[in-house]
Chain A
Amino acid sequence: MSKFELSRRTILKSSAAGLAALSSAGLPRLAQASELTVGIVYVGPRDDFGWNQAHAVAATALKDVPGVTVVEEENVPETIAVQKSMESMINLDGAKLIFATSFGYYKPFVLDLAAKYTDVEFRHAAPLWTEADPKNAGSYFGYLDQAHYVDGVAAGLSTTSNKLGFVAAKPIGTVLRNINSFLLGARKVNPEATVQVIFTGEWSMPVREAEAANALVDAGCDVLTCHVDGPKVVIETAESRGIKCCGHNASQSPLAPNGFITGAEYKWETIYKMFATDLAEGEPLPNFTGGGFDVDFVRSTPYGAGATEAAIAAADAARADVKAGKSIFVGPINKQDGSSLLAAGASFENYEPSLDQTDYLIEGVIGSIT
């Protein structure tokens, strides 16, 4: 069990060679693949053009494993309903492995069930698992801020007004981190760039997203990106206003034939395929799996018509840098309130655990959290 002594930071650092994965020899082995039922729970519709769809498409990899039956449930809210859905999969379908794909499923629902059903494995799509949590639970996650950083680099070279727009759902850690990384990317190539952020307050509210996108364009932004469940509306609004845009979650390239630059996408299939292989071989699944470009957990959407040659070159270089482990957060960086996040010369390593807890926006981002 010595591996559990390792801190997350060390684990992730040691991942350069391969997957940022941790597996425990002490784990009870999953039942043989030939008799395994896997349950997957989604918070929204499986075809939402965003988060849930990305999971659902990638999870088909599991269905190809011989002997594995996959049962799925969509639109399960983050209430007692998800606990009962997972329990129902365990009790009525005989599921021995559960994938819970929404943030709010973890505490208390996944944790409670992991304690109650010790012979069932739970994996949750967010970097939340710690060594203190049950050993039959675990996390898998792609660090999308790396791809947003690359988007930022491309966007920074695509703007003439030096104003970039970001439509965000809620001011939570991952969203704030993506916004910060997007700005850092833009600032790397264009020190004048600022990012204007508008929070819609909901994960999915198409009319307000469209209004937010329009307001950003009216305020002079000429490149838009977003972090909402379904980016379709933001991208289409940007295109119809004749400005450029970067995508999120899945490929929106066809939605903006003129202005699409590139986009930040999860590559869940890497993770699900890895799980599928483990299952097929009867191997235990790792408790914590996370990473970015280095382990192929995130990717950039292929460049669209909006990407200039300079932007492409700079974005390619930035991606290679991140892949090689070069830091995104390099000092001096101040938070919005003027306090120092990183002094000159200091930097965060890309899997710095404190970044999971981001509760601030950095200087250069316009718009406040509360």
Chain B
Amino acid sequence: MADTTETPGIAVQSSFAADLLDRFRRSAEYVVIPLLALVFSGILFSIFLLTLGKSPADFFSLVWRGGFGTSFSWQNTLVRSAPFIFTALCVAVPARLGLVIIGGEGALVLGGFAAAAIAIPMVDWAPGFLLLGVMVIAAMLAGGLWIGCVGALRHYRGVNETIASLLMFYIAVSILNFFVEGALRDPSDPNKPSTRPIGSDNMIGAIPGTDVHWGLLTGVVLCGLLYLLMNRTTFGFAAQIAGGNLRAAQAQGLPVGRLVVVSCAIAGACAGLAGFFEVAAIHGKANASLIAGYGFTGILVSFLARHNPLVIIPVAIFLGGIAASGGLIQRRMDLPDATVLVLQGLLFLVILVSETFYGRFAIFRSKGGVL
């Protein structure tokens, strides 16, 4: 371990420099360990490929090319990562309280459905901005109420939130299908049961110069806002304190019920927004295509980001890139689509296991011994 000698004469400056260096050392840990984990999972996956007689070099260069190598690939990646950001936030926010919500997909589905449903009576007369505004509110309300319910059940009835959110995902799907194949079905499209389209004029366009819809930017801003909420407000601090042990926090007089329900409602609103963008930027209507597994990928993203809203952004983009390159790998290497699943599983495992190495390497440790 490198030693920084201090000369007494420039004590003030040097303590500042040392402090900076200390900070750098400690945060370097959060960059170096995940990178090493990435490299290690890459090695493991290369071994997997080699045993199948495929070239790892080809594989990784295709991942690069398909996900990040061209301007088209970048846009492909970014479009795919937009919903991951929202659904990851649906996991990350309650995670501060120690809650594990795995049913964000349900809030996405219902959010998208609510947005499309409320648009039906408005499409004929409402101007675009009003229509979209109402749709956003409907989507966030629907998603927020849905996961908010999970939080309320958890707090007021003691129902396990992980299981409840999973069960409610299946129920959300049946609600969507019931209406989309029934009362709200667009009669002009008998072959893909959907709600009436919101009209191509009302659709959300792309960020200028790209193919990527505004959902991505919204997601990035939202990550920033929620980071501030969780780290710079009393609400966030209370949540963090309660997160260790909800029962103990309640005994200490923290408003645990409100924390739980509000956190869950915020989480659900995020997932609902993902549904809104699916409807307003991609499909133009609600149908079974809303059930695309984004909510489940979001779980992955949030855990990989250690439930930190700011880290969610690069992780979502990373997984979006892997998803974007999956097709190219199928086409060029004659590998089945499940290859990407194997890679994701392996990556996820290794990164999670790498958690165990934090604080174990002296080089990342603070010099002063204060921390």
Contact = CB atoms under 8 A, between A and B. Distances in A.
Interface string A93-115: 10000000001100110000000
Interface stretch (B30-38, B118-126, B155-163, B326-334): B326-334
Contacts of B65: 92
B266 to A, nearest CB: 25
A80 interface: yes
A73 B289 contact: no
Contacts of A45: 336-337
A72 B330 contact: yes
B358 interface: no
A91 B331 CA distance: 13
Contacts of B79: 80, 84
B192 interface: yes
A126 B331 CA distance: 24
A324 interface: no
A68 interface: no
B191 interface: yes
Interface stretch (B69-77, B230-238, B359-367): B69-77
B192 A107 contact: yes
A92 B70 contact: yes
A370 interface: yes
A172 B190 contact: yes
Contacts of B265: none
B324 interface: yes
B187 interface: yes
B72 A92 contact: yes
Contacts of B192: 78, 103-104, 107, 172
Contacts of A89: 327, 331
A85 interface: yes
A120 B200 CA distance: 23
Contacts of A78: 192, 289
A84 B80 contact: yes
B63 to A, nearest CB: 13
A73 B182 contact: no
Contacts of B183: 370
A370 B181 CA distance: 7
Given A72-B330, A84-B76, A370 B182 contact: yes
A110 to B, nearest CB: 13
A107 B76 CA distance: 19
B72 A91 contact: yes
B331 A93 contact: yes
A171 B66 CA distance: 37
B190 A79 contact: no
Contacts of A80: 79-80, 282
Given A84-B79, A172-B190, A174-B191, A72 B289 contact: no
Contact of A74 (B174, B191, B332, B337): B337
A131 interface: no
Contacts of A76: 327
B284 interface: yes
Interface residues of A, number: 40
A170 B73 CA distance: 35
A231 to B, nearest CB: 20
B51 to A, nearest CB: 22
A107 B283 CA distance: 8
Contacts of A81: 80, 292, 323
Nearest to B330: A73
B297 to A, nearest CB: 12
A170 B76 contact: no
B193 interface: yes
A236 to B, nearest CB: 25
A297 B191 CA distance: 20
A87 interface: yes
Contacts of B189: 107
Interface string B260-285: 00000000000000000010001110
A173 B190 contact: yes
Interface in B138-197: 174, 177-178, 181-183, 187, 189-193
A103 B191 contact: yes
A88 B181 contact: no
Given A84-B324, A170-B181, A172-B191, A108 B284 contact: yes
Given A84-B76, A91-B72, A171-B181, A77 B292 contact: yes
Contacts of B289: 77-79, 104
Contacts of A75: 337
B76 A88 contact: yes
B365 to A, nearest CB: 44
A356 B182 CA distance: 19
Contacts of B174: 201
Nearest to B323: A81
B76 A87 contact: yes
B177 A357 contact: no
A71 interface: yes
Interface in B304-335: 323-324, 327-328, 330-332
Interface in B32-87: 65-66, 70, 72-73, 76, 79-80
A359 interface: yes
A224 B10 CA distance: 90
A327 interface: no
A334 interface: no
Nearest to B325: A88
A181 B336 CA distance: 37
A12 B73 CA distance: 42
A95 B64 CA distance: 20
Nearest to B71: A91
A173 B192 CA distance: 8
Contacts of B70: 91-92
A359 B187 CA distance: 8
Interface of B: 65-66, 70, 72-73, 76, 79-80, 174, 177-178, 181-183, 187, 189-193, 278, 282-284, 287, 289, 292-293, 323-324, 327-328, 330-332, 336-337
5 contacts: A81-B292, A92-B72, A92-B328, A107-B189, A171-B193
Interface of A: 39, 45, 71-81, 84-85, 87-89, 91-93, 103-104, 107-108, 126, 128, 170-174, 176, 201, 356-359, 369-370
Given A85-B327, A91-B72, A357-B190, 9 more contacts: A45-B336, A71-B332, A72-B331, A74-B336, A78-B192, A88-B72, A88-B328, A103-B191, A170-B181
